[in-house]
């Protein structure tokens, strides 16, 4: 373990320790640090903005432990190397280390021998881990890759839904959530699900102007994949090709090898050792091409990636821009092209649908909590429900207001002394799930809007992610083709508040030549014909009669 750095340090000394002599904080870093001691913070800043340095500096300025919730082992490994390189005493509690080392790391955290402890959300909610951390002097909890709270919160990583209650159990330390991109809807979900208290939401420019953006439609799977292989073979330098299933990854890798450009393979169906070896080869530069599912990327910080190709669209624009952002981190020219066919979006609807908890599981867990409050371990033993399914069910019950968590113990909610009937609770959860699925369907359609547009692709992408970029970029296929339009004189503008006769209030997300996409709270993202919506009185700018 590295030698301890005396704390607390002043801002200048902390910056010098983390970034080196003569280095200066970027604007996003300065903004995040400015009020972090007083308020929870959500920082949205582009890849390469130095988000890890923010909490490293904050830790050195404190005399308390920082806990980092980090979703992937590969990402934790890179963060550990970076933190230790800055002189911080850092360790991780994960499945990659032995139980003995986990216990040692927790003991070091409690006894003040650690500056930073990294763990996955599943570790944070484990009773043994939570009990130990409750004894430590935790001053800051960092949720890295915070968009995962939204992307994975419904089903895939249900323990993200319990990070907020875990923070309360640690005594309510400050929370810093960081991510490279997050649309307005995702930002709201992060704030809500992490239970951020009167947070500062800092959104910095996500634009990566050195990355040329394009999209290409195909009539069939074979045509789409052939175009991907052709582009990968024709483009010099290191690259990442994304596919959506394990089988698709293997098929593309075989086609690339046959075309004379062999590629590494990375997907969750491989053994952990094989995945780690593939990632290490790519990061070291021993291999220049990898075909992967979305599981590949977090923690991949190779600066000279020249292209990112997608064979089929991702399930959200947030995910797409996260993956695109792995290109051109050296600020040199790079390209990102989405290859798709219209039917691909049907698979995306399926991938985002998610089943949620079964009614019988929800009934069993709710009945057990009402019968006798208990910890997760106790509830798992009494109900026989597997830990993952239990977390998913508890997350749904907490969101529905039927269950509360205090100091690691789950209690029934008894508002005004009355419990809602189990059937009413289940109906509320079903309604919430239906709303979430409607929002997810609208996110899929947002990707279709991006793929099909003839307008400036960068402007549309950034505005759909919640930024205002009215200018044509000059570095996308639409601008190259001359089909991008000037929207300065459009009747509506990004960020404008509007009212729909049926769907109520909404916010304009992006304006195209003849279409407008609006985010409605209950409906999600909807694309409308501008002239029909305005002339027919369906859509009215707020403030107009």
Q: Mean pLDDT lowest for which of 33-47, 322-336, 427-441, 454-468?
A: 427-441
Indicate if the pLDDT at residue 417 is higher than 50: no
pLDDT value of residue 5: 56
Residue 153 above 60 pLDDT?
no
Q: What is the mean pLDDT of residues 205-222?
A: 92
For tokens 């996110």, name the residue.
443
CATH 3.40.50.300 fits 211-348, yes or no: yes
pLDDT exceeds 70 at position 544: no
CATH of domain 453-541: 2.30.30
Per-residue pLDDT, averaged over 60-85, amounts to 85
Give 151 or 105, the one with higher predicted confidence: 105
Count Cβ atoms below 10 Å from residue 330 Cβ, excluding itself.
14
131 pLDDT above the threshold of 90: no
Contact 474, 481 (CB under 8 A): no
Q: Distance between CA 216 and CA 191 in Å, rounded?
A: 35
Burial class (CB in 10 A: 0-12, 13-18, 19+), 349: middle
* Token pair listed for 101: 């080392």
pLDDT higher than threshold 90 for residue 201: yes
Choice between 468 and 471, residue whose per-residue pLDDT is larger: 471
Q: What is the mean pLDDT of residues 403-431?
A: 77
pTM here?
A: 0.78
Higher-pLDDT residue of 285, 77: 285
Q: What is the pLDDT of residues 516-535, one digit of tens each?
A: 888 887 788 888 999 999 99
pLDDT (average), residues 150-174:
76
pLDDT band at 181 (very low <50, low <70, confident <90, very high): confident
Residue 542 has pLDDT above 50, yes or no: yes
Q: What does the pLDDT read at residue 232?
A: 97
CA-based torsion, 167, 172, 176, 182: positive or negative: positive
The pLDDT of residue 416: 44
Torsion angles phi and psi, residue 339, rounded to 5: -105, 130
Residues 541 and 500: beta-carbon distance below 8 Å: no
170 or 440: which carries more pLDDT confidence? 170
Provide CATH 3.40.50.300 ranges for the chain. 11-203, 211-348
Q: How many CB atoms lie within 10 A of CB 300?
A: 20
Q: Are the CB atoms for 40 and 199 separated by under 8 Å?
A: yes
Q: Residue 327 has which token pair?
A: 């290109």
CATH code, 11-203: 3.40.50.300
Q: Is the dihedral of CA 154, 158, 160, 162 positive or negative?
A: positive
Instruction: Give the separation between CA 373 and CA 186, rounded to whole angstroms.
Output: 32
Average pLDDT over residues 154-177: 81
Which is more confident, 240 or 408? 240
Copy the structure tokens of residue 25: 């904080």
Collapsing DSSP to helix, strand or coil, 208 comes out as coil
| Burial track 494-525 (b if 16+ CB lie within 10 A, e otherwise) | bebebebeebeebbbbbbbeebbbbbbeebbb
Mean pLDDT, the chain, rounded, equals: 86
> Which one is predicted more confidently, 168 or 297?
168
Ranges in the chain annotated CATH 2.30.30: 453-541
Percent of the chain with pLDDT over 70: 93
Cβ–Cβ under 8 Å, residues 241 and 311: yes
Residue 421 has which token pair? 């009937």
Average pLDDT over residues 225-240: 97
Tell me how far CA of residue 480 lies from CA of 178, 310, 313, 325, 366, in angstroms.
Answer: 34, 20, 22, 21, 58
pLDDT reading at 418 higher than 60: no
Residues 477 and 454: their CA atoms lie apart, in Å, by: 9
- 355: pLDDT confidence band, cut at 50, 70 and 90? low
**Every domain range in the chain assigned CATH 1.10.10.10:** 359-432
Sorting pLDDT into bands at 50, 70 and 90, what band is 337? very high
Q: What is the pLDDT of residue 243?
A: 94
pLDDT tier at 155, thresholds 50, 70, 90: very low
- DSSP secondary structure of 386-412: -HHHHHHHHHHHHHTTSEEEETTEEEE
**Cis status, amide bond into 8, omega within 30 of 0:** yes
Please choose, from the candidates 91, 82, 154, 84, the residue with its C-alpha nearest in 3D space to the C-alpha of residue 123: 91
Residue spans of beta strands (DSSP E) within 63-217: 65-69, 90-93, 116-119, 138-143, 174-179, 200-203, 211-217
Position 130 scores a pLDDT of 85
Query: Does 1.10.10.10 match the CATH number of domain 359-432?
Result: yes
pLDDT at 249: 96
Question: Per-residue confidence at 8, pLDDT binned at 50, 70, 90?
Answer: confident
Average pLDDT over residues 116-136: 88
Cα separations in angstroms, 307 against 129, 224, 239, 240, 245: 41, 17, 5, 6, 20
Q: What is the pLDDT of residues 269-320, one digit of tens each?
A: 998 889 889 988 999 999 999 999 987 876 677 999 999 999 999 888 888 9
pLDDT at 312: 93
**Whether the predicted pLDDT of 545 surpasses 70:** no
φ and ψ at 221, to 5 degrees?
Answer: -60, -45
């Amino acid at each position: 373990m590295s030698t301890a750095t005396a704390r607390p340090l002043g801002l200048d000394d902390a910056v010098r320790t983390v970034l080196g002599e003569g280095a200066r904080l970027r604007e996003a870093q300065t903004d995040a640090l400015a009020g972090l001691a007083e308020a929870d913070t959500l920082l949205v800043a582009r890849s390469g903005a130095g988000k890890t340095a923010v909490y490293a500096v904050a830790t050195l300025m404190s005399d308390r432990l920082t806990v980092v919730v980090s979703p992937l082992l590969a990402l934790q490994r890179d963060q550990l190397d970076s933190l230790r390189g800055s002189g911080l005493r850092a360790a991780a509690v994960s499945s990659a280390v032995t139980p003995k080392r986990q216990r040692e790391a927790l003991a070091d955290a409690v006894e003040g021998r650690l500056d930073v402890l990294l763990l996955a959300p599943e570790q944070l909610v484990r009773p043994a881990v939570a009990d130990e951390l409750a004894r430590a002097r935790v001053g800051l909890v960092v949720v890295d890759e915070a968009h995962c709270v939204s992307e994975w919160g419904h089903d895939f990583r249900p323990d993200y839904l319990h990070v907020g209650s875990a923070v309360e159990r640690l005594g309510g330390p400050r929370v810093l959530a960081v991510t490279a991109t997050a649309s307005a809807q995702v930002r709201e979900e992060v704030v809500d699900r992490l239970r951020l208290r009167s947070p500062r939401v800092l959104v910095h420019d996500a634009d990566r102007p050195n990355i040329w953006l394009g999209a290409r439609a195909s009539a069939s799977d074979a045509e789409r994949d052939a175009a991907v292989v052709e582009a990968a073979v024709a483009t010099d330098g290191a690259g990442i090709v994304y596919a959506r299933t394990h089988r698709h990854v293997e098929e593309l890798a075989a086609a690339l090898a046959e075309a004379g450009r062999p590629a590494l393979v990375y997907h969750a169906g491989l053994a952990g050792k094989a995945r780690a070896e593939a990632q290490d080869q790519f990061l070291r530069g021993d291999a220049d091409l990898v075909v992967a599912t979305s599981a590949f990327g977090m923690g991949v910080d190779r600066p000279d990636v020249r292209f990112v190709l997608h064979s089929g669209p991702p399930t959200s624009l947030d995910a797409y821009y996260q993956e695109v952002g792995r290109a051109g981190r050296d600020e040199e020219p790079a390209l990102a092209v989405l290859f798709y066919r219209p039917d691909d979006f049907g698979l995306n609807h399926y991938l985002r649908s998610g089943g949620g908890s079964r009614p019988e599981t929800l009934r069993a867990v709710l009945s057990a909590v009402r019968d006798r409050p208990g910890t997760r371990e106790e509830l798992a033993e009494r109900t026989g429900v597997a830990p993952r399914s239990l977390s998913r069910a508890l997350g749904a019950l907490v969101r529905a207001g039927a269950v509360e968590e205090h100091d690691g113990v789950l209690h029934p909610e008894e508002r005004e002394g009355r419990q809602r009937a189990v059937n009413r609770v289940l109906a509320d959860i079903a309604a919430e799930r239906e709303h979430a699925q409607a929002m997810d369907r609208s996110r899929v359609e947002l990707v279709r809007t991006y793929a099909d547009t003839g307008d400036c692709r960068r402007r549309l992408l950034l505005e759909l992610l919640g930024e205002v970029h009215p200018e044509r970029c000059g570095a996308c296929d639409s601008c190259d083709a001359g089909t991008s339009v000037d929207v300065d004189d459009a009747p509506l503008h990004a960020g404008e508040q509007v009212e729909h006769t049926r769907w109520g209030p909404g916010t304009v997300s992006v304006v195209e030549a003849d279409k407008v996409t609006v985010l409605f709270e209950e409906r999600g993202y909807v694309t409308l014909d501008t002239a029909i919506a305005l002339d027919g009185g369906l859509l009215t700018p707020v403030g107009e009669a």
